[in-house]
Amino acid sequence: MPFLLPIGNNKFNKALTVLIKTPKSYLLKENEVTPENVYLNRRGLLKGLGFLGAGALLSSTSTTASADWFSKDEPTKFKTTALKFQTDQNTDNLILTPEAKITSHNNFYEFGTSKTDPVNNAQGFKIDPWKLTISGECDKPYTLDLDDLTKAFALEERIYRMRCVEAWSMVIPWVGFELAKLLKKAQPNSRANFVAFETLHDPQQMPGQASRRVGGGINYPYVEGLRIDEAMNPLTLMSVGLYGKTLPAQNGAPIRLVVPWKYGFKSIKSIVGIKFVEQQPAATWNILAPNEYGFYANVNPEVDHPRWSQASERRITSGGLFARNRIDTLPFNGYGEQVADMYKNLNLRKNF
Digit-coded pLDDT (tens) for 84-126 = 433 333 334 578 999 999 999 999 999 999 999 999 999 999 9
**C-alpha span between 101 and 49 (Å, rounded):** 21
In the chain, DSSP finds a helix count (H) and a strand count (E) of 9, 16
Selection from 35-44, 69-78, 142-151 with the highest mean pLDDT: 142-151
pTM of the model: 0.79
Assess whether pLDDT exceeds 50 at residue 46: no
> DSSP string covering 172-235, please?
EEEEEEEHHHHHHHT-B-TT--EEEEEE---TTT-HHHH-TTTTTT--SSPEEEEEHHHHHSTT
Is 28 within 8 Å of 85 (Cβ atoms)? Answer: no
Digit-coded pLDDT (tens) for 244-291 = 999 999 999 999 999 999 999 999 999 999 999 999 999 999 999 999
Lowest-confidence segment of 197-201, 284-288, 323-327, 337-341 by average pLDDT = 323-327
Element (H, E) at 148: helix 148-151
CA angle (187 as vertex; 184, 189 as ends), nearest 5 = 125
**C-alpha span between 192 and 282 (Å, rounded):** 15
Hey, which residues does 118 pair with through a beta bridge? none
The per-residue pLDDT for 347 is: 96
Assess whether pLDDT exceeds 60 at residue 131: yes
For each of the domains in the chain, give its residue range(s) and CATH number, in order of start.
Answer: 3-343 (3.90.420.10)
The radius of gyration computed from the CA coordinates of the chain, to the nearest angstrom, equals 20
> DSSP string covering 65-91, please?
--SGGGGSSSPPB--EEEE----S-SS
Mean pLDDT for the stretch of residues 329-349? 97
- Say whether 124 sits in a helix, a strand or coil: coil
The per-residue pLDDT for 322 is: 59
Is 329 within 8 Å of 166 (Cβ atoms)? Answer: no
According to DSSP, the β-strands at 80-83 and 27-28 are antiparallel
Mean pLDDT for the stretch of residues 341-350? 96
More confident residue, 90 or 323: 323
Is 35 within 8 Å of 93 (Cβ atoms)? Answer: yes
The per-residue pLDDT for 68 is: 54
The per-residue pLDDT for 140 is: 98
Digit-coded pLDDT (tens) for 190-244 = 999 999 999 999 999 999 999 988 899 999 999 999 999 999 999 999 999 999 9
The per-residue pLDDT for 12 is: 24
Q: Which DSSP category does 342 fall into?
A: G
Is 238 within 8 Å of 247 (Cβ atoms)? Answer: no
Hey, which residues does 168 pair with through a beta bridge? 314
CA angle (227 as vertex; 140, 171 as ends), nearest 5 = 105
- Say whether 349 sits in a helix, a strand or coil: coil
| Burial (Cβ within 10 Å: 0-12, 13-18, ≥19) of residue 234 | exposed
pLDDT over 70, % of the chain: 72
**pLDDT band at 325; cut points 50, 70, 90:** confident
